[in-house]
Amino acid sequence: MLLIADGGSTKADWAVLEDNGQVRLLSSEGFNPNQHDAQQIALKLAGDPALMALAEQVISVRYFGSGCSSPELKAIAGAGLRAFFKHASIEVDHDVQAAALAVCGNTPGIACILGTGSNACYFDGRHAQPARSGLGYILGDEGSGTWFGKRLVTRYLYGLMPDDLSREFDKHYALTRDEVIRRVYRESGANNWLASFAPFLSMHREHPWILETLDAGFAEFFELCVRPIQVPTPLPVHFVGSIAHAFQPELIRTGARLGQPVGTILQKPIEGLVRHFRQLH
């Protein structure tokens, strides 16, 4: 039994490839080795009943995860997975590799993630090449749910949000400055908490200020994360992730304005990963 995972900081999608060819899809809470150690990762996995039912049966795990960008971080994620899937061989790779396999297949292209966090890479048809992006939610994550959440919260607290939107934001969230400081600086999971405000953008996506905010976030992503990628010939820019999927028209419009045509957009890469590994087996 092969278990494939596309793991984000907020949520992980799993595909169980049975020996008879059947596929089952599962979801669980996500993790990030930048924020969780191996023991915490194993405990998160153990807290999911569906994964607990599989723990003794799985013989191979291919995990593609947010934050798994260096040997050290891959080792943390791998140690947590090995502590839980005790009888399985474990391979850990970065989530950009999963995104690239899902949207590019075996064809070169630029693969991007716009979800809770963000990242971009050049995919040569086999491997995602290292890129400058992926600095995390404090320094980077341009155009992500966390970036937009941070933008909404700061503009609200600074009094820079239009009055009509500010009233709606207050009605939905009733935030105080002290609560924001506590949640961002004193508690864990600040990136996920900030990203939880992204649905407000969708609720008011026709508002001019929201459209400007979306354009600003996507433009910053294209300028800082996509444009610096050196490619031999112009290539389509493909996307996976909840933000890319939820705001397809706005993303495509910003890309066109900047001369960056957008190709495929998928909400989740897991189905593309299933196709890829079925071909290999």
If one counts every other C-beta atom within 10 angstroms of the C-beta of residue 72, the result is 9
CA dist., res. 23 & res. 13, Å (int): 13
CA distance 137 to 239: 19
What 8-state DSSP symbol labels residue 41? H
**CA 268 – CA 58 distance, rounded (Å):** 23
How open is the CA angle 67-71-72, to the nearest 5 degrees? 75
Q: What is the pLDDT of residues 38-55, one digit of tens each?
A: 999 999 999 999 999 999
Tell me how far apart the alpha carbons of residues 62 and 111 are, in angstroms, rounded to a whole number: 19
Question: How many CB atoms are closer than 10 A to CB 59?
Answer: 12
d(CA 5, CA 67): 14
Homologous superfamily of domain range 2-98+270-280: ATPase, nucleotide binding domain (3.30.420.40)
pLDDT of residue 96: 86
Q: pTM for this structure?
A: 0.81
Share of the chain above pLDDT 90, in %: 64
Tokens found for residue 239: 């996307």
Per-residue confidence (pLDDT) for residue 95, from 0 to 100: 84
Q: What is the DSSP letter of 130?
A: P
Can you tell me the distance from the alpha carbon of 243 to that of 11, in angstroms, rounded to the nearest whole number?
14
Domain segments of the chain: what residues? 2-98+270-280
Q: What is the pLDDT of residues 194-231, one digit of tens each?
A: 999 999 999 999 999 999 999 999 999 999 999 988 77
User: Residue 114 to residues 42, 195, 219, 235, 251: CA-CA distances in angstroms?
Assistant: 26, 11, 13, 18, 10
d(CA 108, CA 87): 35
* H-assigned helices in 140-237: 145-158, 163-173, 177-181, 190-195, 199-203, 208-221
pLDDT digits (tens, 9 = 90+) for 124-170: 888 888 777 777 778 878 999 999 999 999 999 999 999 999 999 99
